[in-house]
Protein backbone atom coordinates (compact mmCIF):
# COMPACT_ATOMS: atom_id res chain seq x y z
CA UNK A 1 0.00 0.00 0.00
CA UNK A 2 1.44 3.33 -0.99
CA UNK A 3 1.54 5.97 1.72
CA UNK A 4 0.15 8.71 -0.53
CA UNK A 5 -2.82 6.75 -1.81
CA UNK A 6 -5.41 9.25 -0.54
CA UNK A 7 -3.57 12.20 -2.04
CA UNK A 8 -3.25 10.41 -5.39
CA UNK A 9 -6.93 9.43 -5.55
CA UNK A 10 -8.09 12.91 -4.57
CA UNK A 11 -5.85 14.45 -7.24
CA UNK A 12 -7.20 11.99 -9.80
CA UNK A 13 -10.86 12.90 -9.17
CA UNK A 14 -10.11 16.62 -9.02
CA UNK A 15 -8.38 16.39 -12.40
CA UNK A 16 -11.02 14.20 -14.04
CA UNK A 17 -13.93 16.48 -13.13
CA UNK A 18 -12.01 19.68 -13.79
CA UNK A 19 -11.06 18.35 -17.24
CA UNK A 20 -14.15 16.49 -18.41
CA UNK A 21 -16.96 18.15 -16.46
CA UNK A 22 -20.28 16.31 -16.84
CA UNK A 23 -18.66 13.66 -19.05
CA UNK A 24 -16.73 12.51 -15.98
CA UNK A 25 -19.99 11.27 -14.44
CA UNK A 26 -20.05 8.25 -16.75
CA UNK A 27 -16.40 7.47 -16.04
CA UNK A 28 -17.02 7.44 -12.29
CA UNK A 29 -20.39 5.67 -12.22
CA UNK A 30 -19.93 3.05 -14.97
CA UNK A 31 -19.20 0.20 -12.54
CA UNK A 32 -21.80 1.17 -9.93
CA UNK A 33 -24.87 -0.67 -11.24
CA UNK A 34 -24.34 -3.86 -9.28
CA UNK A 35 -23.14 -2.06 -6.15
CA UNK A 36 -26.25 0.11 -6.15
CA UNK A 37 -28.49 -2.95 -6.62
CA UNK A 38 -27.03 -4.62 -3.55
CA UNK A 39 -27.12 -1.47 -1.47
CA UNK A 40 -30.81 -0.94 -2.15
CA UNK A 41 -31.53 -4.62 -1.37
CA UNK A 42 -29.61 -4.61 1.90
CA UNK A 43 -30.71 -1.13 2.96
CA UNK A 44 -34.39 -1.85 2.31
CA UNK A 45 -35.18 -2.70 5.94
CA UNK A 46 -34.23 0.86 6.94
CA UNK A 47 -36.71 2.45 4.53
CA UNK A 48 -39.93 3.34 6.34
CA UNK A 49 -43.19 4.83 5.16
CA UNK A 50 -42.03 8.22 6.49
CA UNK A 51 -38.27 8.86 6.57
CA UNK A 52 -38.45 12.64 6.90
CA UNK A 53 -37.10 12.61 10.46
CA UNK A 54 -34.14 10.35 9.68
CA UNK A 55 -30.91 12.33 9.22
CA UNK A 56 -28.44 10.50 6.99
CA UNK A 57 -24.84 11.16 5.95
CA UNK A 58 -23.32 9.80 2.73
CA UNK A 59 -19.54 9.71 3.27
CA UNK A 60 -17.54 9.59 0.05
CA UNK A 61 -20.67 10.65 -1.81
CA UNK A 62 -18.94 11.07 -5.18
CA UNK A 63 -21.37 12.35 -7.82
CA UNK A 64 -24.31 11.90 -5.46
CA UNK A 65 -25.63 8.68 -7.00
CA UNK A 66 -26.48 7.08 -3.64
CA UNK A 67 -27.54 10.37 -2.04
CA UNK A 68 -30.03 10.86 -4.87
CA UNK A 69 -31.59 7.44 -4.26
CA UNK A 70 -31.87 8.11 -0.53
CA UNK A 71 -33.45 11.49 -1.16
CA UNK A 72 -36.15 9.79 -3.24
CA UNK A 73 -37.21 7.89 -0.12
CA UNK A 74 -37.56 11.07 1.92
CA UNK A 75 -34.41 10.91 4.05
CA UNK A 76 -32.75 14.16 5.13
CA UNK A 77 -29.44 13.66 3.33
CA UNK A 78 -26.04 15.30 3.62
CA UNK A 79 -23.01 14.21 1.63
CA UNK A 80 -19.26 14.69 1.97
CA UNK A 81 -16.39 13.93 -0.37
CA UNK A 82 -12.69 14.77 -0.26
CA UNK A 83 -12.68 16.10 -3.83
CA UNK A 84 -13.85 19.71 -4.18
CA UNK A 85 -14.46 19.21 -7.92
CA UNK A 86 -16.68 16.18 -7.29
CA UNK A 87 -18.63 18.06 -4.62
CA UNK A 88 -19.17 20.96 -7.02
CA UNK A 89 -20.61 18.53 -9.58
CA UNK A 90 -22.78 16.74 -6.98
CA UNK A 91 -24.32 20.06 -5.88
CA UNK A 92 -25.28 20.93 -9.45
CA UNK A 93 -26.82 17.51 -10.09
CA UNK A 94 -28.61 17.03 -6.74
CA UNK A 95 -29.95 20.34 -5.36
CA UNK A 96 -31.91 18.61 -2.61
CA UNK A 97 -28.77 17.36 -0.83
CA UNK A 98 -26.34 19.38 1.30
CA UNK A 99 -22.87 18.48 -0.04
CA UNK A 100 -19.60 19.50 1.64
CA UNK A 101 -15.93 18.96 0.83
CA UNK A 102 -14.35 17.15 3.78
CA UNK A 103 -11.82 14.59 4.90
CA UNK A 104 -13.25 11.35 6.29
CA UNK A 105 -11.03 11.90 9.33
CA UNK A 106 -12.45 15.35 10.16
CA UNK A 107 -16.15 15.44 9.38
CA UNK A 108 -17.60 18.96 9.81
CA UNK A 109 -20.49 17.94 12.06
CA UNK A 110 -21.23 17.92 15.78
CA UNK A 111 -21.15 14.73 17.84
CA UNK A 112 -24.28 12.62 17.53
CA UNK A 113 -25.75 14.45 14.52
CA UNK A 114 -26.86 11.54 12.32
CA UNK A 115 -29.17 8.53 12.58
CA UNK A 116 -27.44 6.69 9.72
CA UNK A 117 -24.01 7.04 8.13
CA UNK A 118 -23.42 5.34 4.77
CA UNK A 119 -19.91 4.82 3.38
CA UNK A 120 -19.85 2.87 0.12
CA UNK A 121 -16.79 2.13 -2.00
CA UNK A 122 -14.56 4.44 0.00
CA UNK A 123 -12.42 2.29 2.29
CA UNK A 124 -10.39 0.87 -0.57
CA UNK A 125 -8.70 4.29 -0.63
CA UNK A 126 -8.56 4.91 3.14
CA UNK A 127 -5.16 4.44 4.77
CA UNK A 128 -6.27 4.72 8.41
CA UNK A 129 -9.47 2.70 8.55
CA UNK A 130 -9.76 2.67 12.34
CA UNK A 131 -9.60 6.47 12.48
CA UNK A 132 -12.26 6.72 9.78
CA UNK A 133 -14.58 4.32 11.63
CA UNK A 134 -14.08 6.25 14.89
CA UNK A 135 -14.84 9.59 13.21
CA UNK A 136 -18.03 8.32 11.58
CA UNK A 137 -19.01 6.85 14.92
CA UNK A 138 -18.48 10.26 16.54
CA UNK A 139 -21.10 11.94 14.34
CA UNK A 140 -23.61 9.11 14.85
CA UNK A 141 -26.25 9.24 17.54
CA UNK A 142 -26.23 6.49 20.15
CA UNK A 143 -28.05 3.60 18.51
CA UNK A 144 -27.25 5.04 15.10
CA UNK A 145 -26.30 2.79 12.19
CA UNK A 146 -23.04 2.73 10.26
CA UNK A 147 -23.09 1.01 6.86
CA UNK A 148 -19.89 0.22 4.95
CA UNK A 149 -19.21 -1.52 1.65
CA UNK A 150 -15.65 -2.28 0.63
CA UNK A 151 -13.40 -4.79 -1.16
CA UNK A 152 -12.84 -8.34 0.07
CA UNK A 153 -9.25 -9.57 0.25
CA UNK A 154 -10.48 -13.18 0.49
CA UNK A 155 -12.16 -13.03 -2.92
CA UNK A 156 -10.57 -15.69 -5.14
CA UNK A 157 -9.75 -13.14 -7.85
CA UNK A 158 -8.65 -10.32 -5.55
CA UNK A 159 -4.99 -10.99 -6.40
CA UNK A 160 -5.78 -9.83 -9.93
CA UNK A 161 -7.44 -6.69 -8.63
CA UNK A 162 -4.41 -5.91 -6.47
CA UNK A 163 -2.14 -6.30 -9.46
CA UNK A 164 -4.25 -4.26 -11.86
CA UNK A 165 -5.25 -1.62 -9.31
CA UNK A 166 -2.31 -1.11 -6.95
CA UNK A 167 -3.98 1.90 -5.35
CA UNK A 168 -6.88 -0.18 -4.00
CA UNK A 169 -6.87 -1.49 -0.44
CA UNK A 170 -8.57 -4.83 0.25
CA UNK A 171 -9.92 -5.92 3.65
CA UNK A 172 -10.42 -9.19 5.45
CA UNK A 173 -14.12 -9.20 6.48
CA UNK A 174 -13.31 -10.87 9.82
CA UNK A 175 -10.72 -8.22 10.69
CA UNK A 176 -12.96 -5.39 9.56
CA UNK A 177 -15.76 -6.66 11.81
CA UNK A 178 -13.40 -6.81 14.79
CA UNK A 179 -12.20 -3.27 14.07
CA UNK A 180 -15.76 -1.96 14.09
CA UNK A 181 -16.47 -3.77 17.35
CA UNK A 182 -13.32 -2.27 18.87
CA UNK A 183 -14.54 1.20 17.85
CA UNK A 184 -17.82 0.72 19.74
CA UNK A 185 -20.24 -0.98 17.33
CA UNK A 186 -22.45 -4.04 17.63
CA UNK A 187 -22.02 -5.60 14.18
CA UNK A 188 -24.66 -7.47 12.20
CA UNK A 189 -23.81 -10.50 10.03
CA UNK A 190 -21.64 -9.59 7.04
CA UNK A 191 -23.24 -9.90 3.60
CA UNK A 192 -21.59 -10.36 0.23
CA UNK A 193 -21.50 -8.39 -3.01
CA UNK A 194 -21.52 -10.98 -5.82
CA UNK A 195 -20.70 -9.81 -9.34
CA UNK A 196 -20.17 -10.99 -12.88
CA UNK A 197 -17.88 -9.33 -15.46
CA UNK A 198 -19.29 -6.10 -17.02
CA UNK A 199 -20.28 -7.90 -20.24
CA UNK A 200 -22.44 -10.24 -18.15
CA UNK A 201 -23.98 -7.52 -16.00
CA UNK A 202 -27.46 -8.81 -16.85
CA UNK A 203 -26.58 -11.93 -14.84
CA UNK A 204 -25.68 -9.76 -11.85
CA UNK A 205 -29.10 -8.14 -12.09
CA UNK A 206 -30.80 -11.55 -12.41
CA UNK A 207 -28.85 -12.84 -9.40
CA UNK A 208 -30.23 -10.02 -7.27
CA UNK A 209 -33.73 -10.10 -8.76
CA UNK A 210 -34.31 -13.77 -7.87
CA UNK A 211 -32.56 -13.14 -4.53
CA UNK A 212 -30.07 -15.98 -5.00
CA UNK A 213 -27.63 -13.92 -2.93
CA UNK A 214 -29.65 -14.91 0.15
CA UNK A 215 -28.50 -18.51 -0.27
CA UNK A 216 -24.90 -17.37 -0.68
CA UNK A 217 -25.14 -15.15 2.39
CA UNK A 218 -26.59 -17.99 4.45
CA UNK A 219 -23.37 -19.89 3.78
CA UNK A 220 -21.17 -16.80 3.51
CA UNK A 221 -18.73 -18.15 6.09
CA UNK A 222 -16.89 -20.34 5.40
CA UNK A 223 -17.82 -20.96 1.71
CA UNK A 224 -19.14 -18.03 -0.31
CA UNK A 225 -16.90 -15.38 1.23
CA UNK A 226 -14.39 -16.47 -1.43
CA UNK A 227 -16.88 -15.66 -4.23
CA UNK A 228 -17.74 -12.17 -3.01
CA UNK A 229 -15.62 -9.37 -4.51
CA UNK A 230 -16.83 -7.02 -1.78
CA UNK A 231 -18.79 -7.11 1.45
CA UNK A 232 -21.53 -5.08 3.11
CA UNK A 233 -21.38 -4.58 6.87
CA UNK A 234 -23.65 -2.77 9.32
CA UNK A 235 -23.00 -1.81 12.90
CA UNK A 236 -25.06 -0.12 15.62
CA UNK A 237 -23.31 2.43 17.82
CA UNK A 238 -23.37 1.29 21.45
Q: At what angle do helices 65-72 and 33-43 cross, to 10 degrees?
A: 40
Of 42-51, 111-120, 148-157, give the lowest mean pLDDT range. 148-157
Residue 89 has pLDDT above 70, yes or no: yes
pLDDT for 2 equals: 43
Number of domains in the chain: 1
**Chain centroid to CA 238: how far?**
21
Question: Which CATH number do you get for residue 178?
Answer: 3.40.50.150
Alpha-carbon distances of 86 from 12, 122, 147, 160, rounded to whole Å = 11, 14, 22, 28
CB atoms within 10 A of CB 150: 25
Please report the pLDDT score of residue 164 as a whole number: 44
pLDDT (tens digit per residue) in 17-53: 889 888 888 777 877 888 999 999 999 999 999 999 9
Query: Mean pLDDT for the chain?
Result: 91
Q: Is the pLDDT of residue 1 over 60?
A: no
Domain extent, residue 228, equals: 5-237
pLDDT per residue as tens digits for the range 72-81 = 999 999 999 9
pLDDT at 150 over 70: yes
Amino acid sequence: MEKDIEVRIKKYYDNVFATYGKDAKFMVEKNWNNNLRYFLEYFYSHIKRDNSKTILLDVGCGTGLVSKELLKHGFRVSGVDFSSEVVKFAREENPGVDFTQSSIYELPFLDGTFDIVVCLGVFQTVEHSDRAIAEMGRVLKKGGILIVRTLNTLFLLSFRGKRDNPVCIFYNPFSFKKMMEKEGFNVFPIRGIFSFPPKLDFLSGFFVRIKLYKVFNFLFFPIFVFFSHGFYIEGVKK
